[in-house]
Amino acid sequence: KEIFEKVRKLFDEKIDKSTFTKNEEIVSKPDKYRDILYCGICGSKLHLMSEIKKDKREYRYQCPKSYELGKEESCNVYIREKDLDEIIFYNIKNKIKQTFGNCENVIGLVKIELNKRLDMIAKKINITTQQINKENQRGSWLYSKYVEGSVDSESFIHQRDATENYIQELKERLYLLEESYQRKIVEIEKSLEWIKAMYQVDSEIPNRENLLKLISRINLFPKKEVDIEWSIDYEIIQVIIECCSE
């Protein structure tokens, strides 16, 4: 099935192989940058290519427009795979230094801080739930007074509508808080995985599994310039930096 999907993908992209030189070809070897490496000029996904040079096979990534449109309209975006590996490795190591510094027990410190933020949302959920219960009780009390005749019809309807509207607002607020709580749980798990993956990149270039944990997108520009979008939010990276600087 995997081979079939790769073949279908090549046909879907409608690549004209007649434009390649006799030593060029699209390769089917495992591509660890698949779906995260893009041309910084046009936004196209870069293709993994191979070429025989001096009896050695060399792999490189190239913007499809480089061979579809010709030199004049080309984005001129390409890079050897081993050069990209080195650049990404350098950027990850640099990010580790900037984010973690010499801090020990990063995971423990970050987990404590993010759980504090989770607890704050949980408290808001609890308060909002209590407010809803309180307003429901008020509605029941108001109805009982109306039945007793202590409250006239016009006043009852006015207060009932106001109470029901407020309860609806509280329920909408509760829904958003609960959504935020669930997102925060996922965020914490993802952040801890990100930190673990960062630490695994110590002396070797990351494999695809770690790349996907660390990076969501790589934009490649001419002259081997890259812009990396990390897989966790900037806000969380700042939290990590703050925890490590204390």
Place of tokens 């006015």: 158
Within a 10 A sphere around the Cβ of 46, how many other Cβ atoms? 27
**Contact assessment for residue 87 and residue 226, using Cβ atoms and an 8 Å cutoff:** yes
pLDDT of residue 133: 94
pLDDT digits (tens), the chain, 246 positions: 455 455 445 544 444 444 344 444 555 577 889 999 999 988 999 988 887 777 778 888 988 876 655 555 678 888 999 999 999 998 888 888 888 877 777 888 888 888 898 999 999 999 999 999 999 999 999 999 889 888 888 998 999 999 999 999 999 999 999 999 998 888 888 888 888 888 777 667 788 888 888 899 999 998 899 999 998 888 888 888 888 776
**Contact assessment for residue 26 and residue 49, using Cβ atoms and an 8 Å cutoff:** yes
Amino acid letter, 218: I
Interatomic CA distance for residues 101 and 84, integer angstroms: 25
Interatomic CA distance for residues 44 and 84, integer angstroms: 17
Interatomic CA distance for residues 168 and 181, integer angstroms: 20
pLDDT of residue 123: 95
What token pair was written down for 6? 């790769």
pLDDT of residue 71: 55
pLDDT of residue 37: 94
